[in-house]
Structure 1
Amino acid sequence: MSKYVGGALIPTLKIDRGDRSNLAFQLTVALRQLILSGDLSAGTRLPASRTLARDQGVSRTTVISAFEQLAAEGLLDSRIGAGTYVSAGMRVPKPAAAAARPPEELPHLARLGARIREPYFPRLGHPPAPRAFVTGMPAFDAFPGALWSRMSSQYWRENRAGIMSYPDPAGLFELREAICQHLRANRGLVCQPDHLFVFSGAQDAFTQIARMLVNPGDKVWLENPGAIGARNAFLSCGAEPVPVPVDEEGIDVEAGLKLSPDFRIAFVTPAYQHPLGVTMSLARRMQLLDAAEGAGAFIVEDDYVGEFHYGATTLPPLKTLDGGQRVIYVGTFSKTLFPAVRLGFAVVPPALAPMIERTLAAIAHGVAHSVQGITARFIAEGHFASHIRRMRGIYAGRRDALLAAAARDLGGRLEVRPTETGFHTVGIIPDGADEEVALAEAAGRAGLAVTPLSRYALEPIAQRGVTLGFSAVPPIEIERGVRVLAEIVDRPPA
């Protein structure tokens, strides 16, 4: 830094006149950054307030205000008659050595920090806007935004003490009651509000359940292939994953018992296996319940798209068969409403409810009061049931558009399986060709969102294919996407 009689020259110090923030604040931030970076070293004399004010085109009062703030922070020393200096005690850390250290050598990492770099940990990201063929994303264009806005406005005009207080960590009772009524009427699941807990989405529910029920080293059955987010929740608590294969009836319980008869948790998606899309048969459900009872284990049932079935009949949740009280039923509003609502819930066996309530009261923060209150009214006033019925029709039409376009443009090259449930299906590459990763990458470059099935697997699987979501975009976009995908499939390998 150059010196002159009036103090250090600071050519890099600039005030942004286009920035709406206070000039004194800007000057304080800029000087602080120069000091902490070492550009203004300990003992450096700053220009006099009049000089710096003239150089920067600001008032002397602005400079004095910045100097006083930095002096209060201990970064500057003002000496009467001698000027203002960077504090002599300043020691700027040298980040280069830390940055050069390989991640594997970082000290004091918890078990989660060490394991989270493993290749199977990253969750699948969603694009910022809907596109073909993203999975797990509802139709934003069909959501009743105006109605939601009106209900939000009404909610925020109510008594402040009731709507701005700390939320109950277990969930707003009105919402818990409304969800129970909806489950009873629409999913055939009878439960009590005291046995239902509200979370910040299904992923938060999985994480909290894992923290409360899993010790490091406990065996957890995971569908292979299976849901990545739930898998990560159990892994983060030190669980030992047991990848259990999936066939046309769902999770292979006999294989799971051979791999680990002493399992602690079995995580399953019975309504619509994620990602393969099979529905767990009644016989397999009974077999799984018997296995859990024999092992003294719990079953976590993720009913992420159970509301959206397009056939004449559908099996009720696994939880409805749970005479032994082994099933923890998890639902989400990210798929039924919209992801940003960050709202999920879990229906737990009565024996677990007191422990979960105590634990949440001790460590959880609860979900925003407003989100819970508005959602409770949306359900109680019948809007939610109407929305579900309407969306079933829309999604069925989008599914039909995908299947028709695939039959026309992809026949014989990608086997797109029909489905009666959910937001996506799978396209199987014939002859077991190991081309799914290349296909997914090429589709991504073309603006499509498809994921290879191997991405969901903890251990290698026989199926080779990609996921094809149909819920997020209108039929015209689905048809365009299929045409683009057909061009990619026909393209000779590079």
Structure 2
Amino acid sequence: MSRLEKGVALPLLKVENSASTPIYRQIEDQIRTAVLAGTLKPNMQLPSSRALARELKVSRPTIIQAYEYLTFEGFLESRHGAGTFVPKMLPDHLPEPTVQYPDARSSKVSAPKPLSDVGAQFAKLTSHSYRTQYSAFLPNVPAYDLFPFEQWQKLRNRCIKQSKPNMLGYEDSAGSLALRTSITQYLAVHRGDVCDPDQILIVPGATFALHLAVTLLSNPGDKVWLEDPGPDGVRLTLKALNRTISNLDVEPDGMDVGTGIRDHNDARLAITMPSRHHPLGVTLSLAKRLSMLRWAQQNGAWIIEDDYDSEFRYNGRPPCLDAQYRFHQQRYLHRYFQ
């Protein structure tokens, strides 16, 4: 049996501490590649985790993590009381190694399989960098110094103590029913919107919600009204989904709906932030709201409303937040569209 001397590290392993790839992943990749390339033969014993950690000057848990994952994949096997080995029996046809070592700094990765057209467009999107330093008036950043962390922690602990088995498993694909029910109660009391939990869908974030809505409600090439200026993320998502963007100026009372109806009447979607436009902060007027609603009904179009911030105000109520006002407005719209 081929055997490496115990306590001597594999000379082919190189660790680059400054690399972005975690050290355990570097070790995994190099051992996997060595097995695929035949450098590490079947039934060959590897150094103990303690010896390899000492030679590479890394922590032992790092080596254990790499060994355990490679064992899970089938590239290594652990023999009780003996150590870690390359399996005796390897498949006759192993894939070609894609990472060339020994030097991690000069590693080469083969070109990935081509993405779909939509995938290629999304790959071009500029990722949003998250700020590590927070200060006043940053967009989309709350006042962390005012957040009630202590109260939040108490509520979190209470929820965990009352947890049920299904909380650790798969939930309804639309989201937790208890959460959706609470949202409908809030909307009914504070917004005057009466709806059913089945009409609520919980998603990971606004970008996913936009992606899902645009995909379900329109086809590639369809026109979409979009406020100009507007969020870059929305614009990039529409481009990646191959929708035709109809830019509409933002006036003191909101999106130029009149131009949209005149020049882009055949649009399939309208995406708007009526309560407080980003970044200009204007509010879409009631006259323009009614005009947009009538256009959508007459043309079978959809309106995607981004109501991201309407309840955060310095004074007064958000537009249409008063339930009585909403009742009269809805009754007027009902008569208007009959």
* TM-score of the aligned structures, taking structure 2 as reference length: 0.68
Aligned residue number for residue 268 of structure 2: 264
CA RMSD after TM alignment = 4.3
**Counterpart mapping for 1:16-27 below 5 A:** none
Percent identity, aligned pairs only, is 29
The match for 2:119 among 113, 117, 122 is 113
Contact 2:226 2:270 in 1 (8 A): yes
Q: Distance in 2 between matches of 1:310 and 1:216?
A: 41
**Displacement of 1:173:** 2.8
Q: Distance in 2 between matches of 1:123 and 1:93?
A: 26
Contact 2:33 2:99 in 1 (8 A): no
**Counterpart mapping for 1:53-132 below 5 A:** 64-67=82-85, 70-71=86-87, 74=90, 91-93=96-98, 108-116=114-122, 121-122=125-126, 124-132=128-136
**Displacement of 1:142:** 1.5
1:42 maps to 2:38: yes
Q: Distance in 1 between matches of 2:315 and 2:220?
A: 42
The match for 2:230 among 226, 229, 233 is 226
Gaps of 5+ in 1: 16-25, 76-86, 325-494
Q: Distance in 2 between matches of 1:52 and 1:97?
A: 23
SS at match of 1:243: strand
Q: Distance in 2 between matches of 1:98 and 1:240?
A: 39
Amino acid paired to 1:113 = G
Change in CA separation of 1:304 and 1:42 when aligned onto 2, cut-off 3 Å:
same
**Displacement of 1:110:** 1.4
Describe the superposition over 1:4-60 as per-residue Cα deviations: whole angstroms up to 9, x where unpaired. Answer: x98x98435589xxxxxxxxxx8x994x644444599526669985x95697689xx
Contact 2:36 2:96 in 1 (8 A): no
**Counterpart mapping for 1:56-455 below 5 A:** 64-67=82-85, 70-71=86-87, 74=90, 91-93=96-98, 108-116=114-122, 121-122=125-126, 124-158=128-162, 160-316=164-320, 323=333
Q: Distance in 2 between matches of 1:159 and 1:97?
A: 47
Describe the superposition over 1:226-267 as per-residue Cα deviations: whole angstroms up to 9, x where unpaired. Answer: 123333444443322211111111110122123321111100
**Displacement of 1:163:** 2.9
* TM-score of the aligned structures, taking structure 1 as reference length: 0.49
Q: Distance in 1 between matches of 2:95 and 2:231?
A: 50
Contact 1:9 1:47 in 2 (8 A): no
Q: Distance in 2 between matches of 1:268 and 1:55?
A: 61
Change in CA separation of 1:34 and 1:144 when aligned onto 2, cut-off 3 Å:
closer
Contact 2:36 2:97 in 1 (8 A): no
Change in CA separation of 1:295 and 1:127 when aligned onto 2, cut-off 3 Å:
same
Change in CA separation of 1:295 and 1:65 when aligned onto 2, cut-off 3 Å:
same
**Displacement of 1:211:** 2.2
Describe the superposition over 1:362-387 as per-residue Cα deviations: whole angstroms up to 9, x where unpaired. Answer: xxxxxxxxxxxxxxxxxxxxxxxxxx
Change in CA separation of 1:10 and 1:168 when aligned onto 2, cut-off 3 Å:
closer
**Displacement of 1:166:** 1.9
**Displacement of 1:66:** 1.4
Aligned length: 287
Gaps of 5+ in 2: 16-23, 56-78, 101-105
Contact 1:111 1:238 in 2 (8 A): no
Change in CA separation of 1:64 and 1:286 when aligned onto 2, cut-off 3 Å:
same
Q: Distance in 1 between matches of 2:228 and 2:170?
A: 40
Q: Distance in 2 between matches of 1:244 and 1:168?
A: 38
Aligned residue number for residue 103 of structure 2: none
Change in CA separation of 1:40 and 1:194 when aligned onto 2, cut-off 3 Å:
closer
Aligned residue number for residue 11 of structure 2: 11
Q: Which has the higher contact order (CA 8 A, sep 6+)?
A: 1
Amino acid paired to 1:240 = T
Contact 1:268 1:299 in 2 (8 A): yes
Contact 1:156 1:163 in 2 (8 A): no
Q: Distance in 1 between matches of 2:135 and 2:40?
A: 56
Contact 2:177 2:197 in 1 (8 A): yes
Q: Distance in 2 between matches of 1:277 and 1:66?
A: 63
Change in CA separation of 1:247 and 1:35 when aligned onto 2, cut-off 3 Å:
same
Change in CA separation of 1:254 and 1:154 when aligned onto 2, cut-off 3 Å:
same
**Displacement of 1:62:** 8.7
SS at match of 1:261: coil
Aligned residue number for residue 23 of structure 1: none
Change in CA separation of 1:11 and 1:312 when aligned onto 2, cut-off 3 Å:
closer
Amino acid paired to 1:74 = L
Q: Determine which structure has the larger strand proportion and give its number.
A: 1
